[in-house]
Chain A
Amino acid sequence: MADWKDEVEEIVFDGKICVPYSWTVGSTLSKWYGIMRDDAEIWANRCPSCEMVFVPPRKKCIYCYEDMNEWVKLPGTGILETYTVVEHPEPGVYPRETPFIYGIIKMDGADTGLVHFIEGVEPDKVKSGIEVEAVMSKEREGNLMDIECFRPVD
């Protein structure tokens, strides 16, 4: 195949459109994030039908489509169910410098997993099944980073 680039310069366009996005979190998560920001507490909600407890909370039970109006306060502890150690840097995508650990925490009192960062443990020492607890941020703004991270319980 003849290389067309021998005769023609290849041209690439850069995009100019920048779309600013924002997201309304809604009635359920407004309450959840509000409590987290103002009281430094993590709450969950329970399905009145199947009694499954969701954290993060849901507007409707995923399984029963019931309104989730029963709220319960969680103690902030849980078990690290699974994790990964991120080694390869992706500037602009990852919020932390590599290496860092994130995982899924099954919080005590809840039936679902919460995704968050794991700190206070060396990457080569972390393992599934360890007990962890939430560390709340000092400056809280009403978002998921109001939980600074989860760390192993001493």
Chain B
Amino acid sequence: MGNRVGIIGVGQTHHAAKRLDASGTELISEAVSRALDDAEITLDQIDAIVVGNMDHFENVNYVDMWATDGLGACMKPVFKVTTGGTTGTTLGACGYYHTGSGIFDTVLAVGWEKNSESDTQAAIATCANPVLERDPFAGAIGPLATEYSMYMSVYGATQEDAAIVAVRDRNNALNNPYAHNQMKVTVEDVMNSPMLSFPIKLLDICPRSDGACAVIFAAEEKAKALCPRPAWVHASVVRHDYTHFGDLEWQWMPTLERASEAAYKLAGITDPLNEFDVAELYIPASTCGVKWMDSLWFCERGGAPELIRKGTLEMDGQLPVNPSGGVIATNPIGATGLIRVGEAAWQVMGKAGDHQVLDVNKALVTGFGGCSWSDVMILGADLP
């Protein structure tokens, strides 16, 4: 374990399909300015910056160079991070590592993406091995569709179970002014939406958004001095696996099982459903919001559909998941994971506005990328 670290400020843009009013650099400055305002500090008090996006989504390499004015990074240590969908949560991990190491007191983590500037699906297809699996298995939906297809046949989960998750996240987003998709939907709406790739339908899947998010991490003494109620980092764990799509374990998610198990151990969590007060989970498709619940140790393998049907993870359930509306409502890819970190921090800090869950002491955060990497972060109101 490193030193204790607290999150003291969070800022995000208003996310949309197309932010024609702002360049990528300007989205970054919008998020950074809001995070500094949220923490009530100025850029002088930031010791180092980590920034991330997916270069090939905008075809602009070296964001750490050309977006310096948006970042406020001039003459500061700045590091770029790119790990696919997990970019945002890896930025959170890096913000934590930088401060937890004792080397920097205050670190600004910034994730952003301007998906409107390219064809995300074509760009994301380049993650697949070009000489083996890209032709038949490229794109964001394929791996998620095939894993749920297997989960349905093995455990009896249904498309309606996934639709319940889509309805939960989409309707939660109505309480979040920053969310991209703001639409009230029903299970019927989801079930009747166009099939994209069996069993995933249009309303099951995340959008592609323009947006940015910034989160400020501070070492213990600094955090106590600057913030009345920091969100303390209790654990931050990253797990990548060996990946060819044909070899992956599709029935459960090994990286999420291992990452959450390790994080729970660090944070002393033995009964996650009871001990967490809120969760901001990287659920890119509603199907993942069913299947991956097994791998967070919320239930036995195959138990997730029952949790979903009982409403355990609804706003008024035992563990509210994605009060912000989650990834299904908002997905500026390089920022998406960091928004989970920021939203969970706001929940702990009591700053989540209309989607605030009452009395949050412990919050769970996940990130998903590649296929299939998992990041897990645990935040708490008490010192770890």
Partner of B23, one of A21, A25, A62: A25
Interface positions of A from 11 to 63, Cβ below 8 Å from B:
13, 15, 17-29, 58-63
A17 touching B126, Cβ below 8 Å = yes
B69 touching A62, Cβ below 8 Å = yes
Q: With A59-B70, A62-B69 in contact, is A21–B117 under 8 Å at CB?
A: yes
Q: Which of B52-60, B141-149, B358-366 contacts A (4 or more CB under 8 A)?
A: B52-60
A29 touching B23, Cβ below 8 Å = yes
Q: Is A65 an interface residue (CB 8 A)?
A: yes
A50 to B69, CA, bound (A): 14
Q: Is B26 an interface residue (CB 8 A)?
A: yes
Q: Mark B27-42, 1 if CB is under 8 A from A, else 0.
A: 0010000000000001
A62 to B130, CA, bound (A): 40
B122 touching A19, Cβ below 8 Å = yes
A65 to B108, CA, bound (A): 14
- B114 cross-chain contacts in A, Cβ below 8 A: 24
- B25 cross-chain contacts in A, Cβ below 8 A: 26, 59
Q: Mark A54-87, 1 if CB is under 8 A from B, else 0.
A: 0000111111010000000000000000000000
Q: What total of A-B pairs shows CB separation below 8 Å?
A: 71
- Minimum distance in angstroms from A92 CB to a CB of chain B: 15
Q: Which of B2-10, B14-22, B219-227 contacts A (4 or more CB under 8 A)?
A: B14-22
A23 to B117, CA, bound (A): 6
- A58 cross-chain contacts in B, Cβ below 8 A: 69
A26 to B13, CA, bound (A): 14
Q: Is B271 an interface residue (CB 8 A)?
A: no
A60 to B43, CA, bound (A): 12
Q: Mark B99-129, 1 if CB is under 8 A from A, else 0.
A: 0000000000000001011110011011000
A76 to B117, CA, bound (A): 32
Partner of A59, one of B18, B26, B131: B26
Partner of B69, one of A17, A18, A21, A61: A61
Partner of A26, one of B26, B58, B118: B26
A24 touching B130, Cβ below 8 Å = no
- B122 cross-chain contacts in A, Cβ below 8 A: 17-19
Q: Which 7 A-B pairs have the closest CB atoms?
A: A26-B23, A26-B26, A65-B72, A21-B59, A65-B43, A60-B69, A62-B74
Q: Which residues of A contact B (CB under 8 A)?
A: 13, 15, 17-29, 58-63, 65
The 25 listed contacts between A and B (C-beta, < 8 Å) are: A13-B130, A15-B130, A17-B122, A17-B138, A19-B56, A19-B122, A19-B123, A20-B118, A21-B59, A21-B117, A21-B118, A22-B117, A24-B19, A24-B23, A24-B24, A24-B114, A26-B22, A26-B24, A27-B21, A59-B69, A61-B69, A62-B74, A63-B75, A65-B43, A65-B72
